């Protein structure tokens, strides 16, 4: 069973309290046995490896479709397909990338004519990011590729289990990010 950290040997992994951080468990259960730590069972390790393999598959599919595109660039396009004209600062916030990295990504996307950057008319210190016609035309080409990777990765997993996994990962994200929403939506 997957867990956040290695617990004392002999602990029941089905115990609902084993997912709690040590401060939330009984004092007797809070001691970690670092000697039995198994990186292959660590949540962060499994999530990261899954993200890496999905990113590799997507990048290969994008390339086979004729697009030299990173998954980071795809995420920016997907955000713009949902909300064209976003502030550059919102792109930074919603992609969890630093400002310099987003600026570089946007620059490459501008060079490929997928997006354009315009000065905000109300506040000339801010920039808005807009899709070009070519950027909009990528949606029906790229989304089926993304859906196919998701379908491949989730084969033989029930809808209920997938929903639970996504809900749990969002909760972990919220816990670690100070209740920021991973989808950039207002939780109210």
Q: Is residue 10 part of a domain?
A: no
Q: Is residue 139 part of a domain?
A: yes
Neighbours of 58 (CB within 10 A): 20
Q: Is residue 162 part of a domain?
A: no
Higher-confidence position of 122 and 134:
134
Q: From 121, 117, 108, select the one nearest 85 (Cα to Cα).
A: 117
Helix 139-153 and helix 43-64: axis angle, to 10°? 140
Residue 35's pLDDT is: 75
Higher-confidence position of 182 and 140:
140
**pLDDT of 114 strictly over 50:** yes
**Which CATH number does the domain housing residue 67 bear?**
1.10.10.10
Neighbours of 13 (CB within 10 A): 11
Q: Is residue 161 part of a domain?
A: no
Q: Is residue 154 part of a domain?
A: no
The set of residues, in sequence order, having a beta carbon less than 8 Å from that of 40 and lying 6+ positions away, is 46
User: Do 87 and 93 form a contact (C-beta atoms < 8 A)?
Assistant: no
Neighbour-count burial for 120-129, b at 16+ CB within 10 Å, e otherwise: eeeeeeebbb
126: its two tokens: 């801010």
Residue-wise pLDDT for 11-35, tens only, equals: 344 444 444 444 444 444 445 677 7
Residue-wise pLDDT for 64-113, tens only, equals: 999 999 999 999 999 999 999 999 999 999 988 999 999 999 999 999 99
Q: Is residue 32 part of a domain?
A: no
pLDDT band at residue 185 under the 50/70/90 scheme: low
Domains: count for the chain: 1
Residue 166's pLDDT is: 94
Residue 61's pLDDT is: 96
Indicate the DSSP class of residue 3: B
Residue 27's pLDDT is: 42
* Structural domain containing residue 107: 40-146
Q: Is residue 75 part of a domain?
A: yes
**pLDDT of 186 strictly over 90:** no
What is the arithmetic mean of pLDDT over 118-145?
93
First to last CA, the chain: 34
Residue 181's pLDDT is: 57
Residue 183's pLDDT is: 56
């Amino acid at each position: 069973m997957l867990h956040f950290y290695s617990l004392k040997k002999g602990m029941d992994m089905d115990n609902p309290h084993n997912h709690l951080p040590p401060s939330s468990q009984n004092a007797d259960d809070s001691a970690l046995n670092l000697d039995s730590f198994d990186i292959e069972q660590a949540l962060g390790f499994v999530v990261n490896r899954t993200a890496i393999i999905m990113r590799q598959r997507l990048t290969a599919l994008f390339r086979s479709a004729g697009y030299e595109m990173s998954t980071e660039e795809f995420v920016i396009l997907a955000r713009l397909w949902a909300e064209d004209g976003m502030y550059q600062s919102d792109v930074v916030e919603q992609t969890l990338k630093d400002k310099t990295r987003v600026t570089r990504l946007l620059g490459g996307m501008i060079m490929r004519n997928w997006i354009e950057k315009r000065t905000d008319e109300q506040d000339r210190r801010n920039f808005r990011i807009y899709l070009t016609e070519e950027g909009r035309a990528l949606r029906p080409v790229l989304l089926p590729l993304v859906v196919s990777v998701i379908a491949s990765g989730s084969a033989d997993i029930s809808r209920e289990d997938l929903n639970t996994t996504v809900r749990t990962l969002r909760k972990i994200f919220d816990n670690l990010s100070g209740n920021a929403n991973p989808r950039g939506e207002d939780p109210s």
